Structure 1
Amino acid sequence: MGIFDRFKNQAAQDKAMEMSDAAEQKINEKTGNKFEGQVDDAQQKIEGALGMDRSSPDQQ
């Protein structure tokens, strides 16, 4: 894997996380934050299934 491939992969993951955050915010906005905990849990599970674990240092 070349340096540009690595950059593209990181850029794609960054964009995916931005979209995930935007979706979380929109859902919370529509529900009046009534289900904020459940939405956050679901977001974490989905990101984990896609290999987008926010707890790893290279993802922050």
Structure 2
Amino acid sequence: MGAFTQDYEYIEGLGDLDQCNGRYGVTPEFPDGIYYYVVTDDFPFFTRCLKGDTN
């Protein structure tokens, strides 16, 4: 991994998260499933973009 954000490359299908560091899944609050963003221990630590519509 490089030292700069520009060195990061998202590879589709590698891992469970999408390019925005999010995923669709079941949570205790949303047993039918919901899209949510994930904070990770490794880079990219938090979301790099937003998806969907705001309400």
TM range (shorter): under 0.3
Normalising by structure 1, we get a TM-score of: 0.27
Higher radius of gyration, 1 or 2: 1
- The two structures have a TM-score, normalised by structure 2, of 0.28
> Comparing both structures, which one devotes a greater share of its residues to helix?
1
